[in-house]
Amino acid sequence: MTIPTDDQFFSKTEKGKPDAAFLKNHFYREGRLKEEHALFILEKATRLFRAEPNVLAVDSPVTGATIAYPSASSSNLIPFSSVW
């Protein structure tokens, strides 16, 4: 397995974006990236997450977390018609 070149890593149709289909296949086959490509992905993802208003900021260290969802019992369901 070879490390992708810039031509393989970047999309030919979407300027400045990685080729998602290529990367999916590359990672499926346990391929590796150049450090600059990995940093590119991390920097873009960091910018996206910082701009996303629905992401929670949590002080570190985080040692474990549990997300609890209410059960779907009939007592806590809201009828669809009452929402509209």
- Residue 15 in any domain: the answer is yes
Q: Which residues span the domain enclosing 23? A: 11-52
- Residue 18 in any domain: the answer is yes
Residue matched to tokens 């992905």: 41
When pLDDT is averaged across residues 9-38 and rounded to a whole number, the result is 95
Give the three-class secondary structure for 52.
Answer: coil
Distance of CA 47 to the CA centre of its chain: 12
- Residue 60 in any domain: the answer is no
Length of the chain: 84
Number of domains, the chain = 1
- CA 36 – CA 41 distance, rounded (Å): 9
Per-residue pLDDT, 78:
53
- Residue 63 in any domain: the answer is no
- Residue 2 in any domain: the answer is no
- Does the predicted model carry a pTM greater than 0.85? no
- CA 73 – CA 67 distance, rounded (Å): 18
Band (pLDDT 50/70/90 cuts) for residue 84 is: very low
- Residue 66 in any domain: the answer is no
Per-residue pLDDT, 55:
81
- Residue 35 in any domain: the answer is yes
Answer whether 39's CB lies under 8 Å from 62's CB. no
Paired strand residues for 18? 10
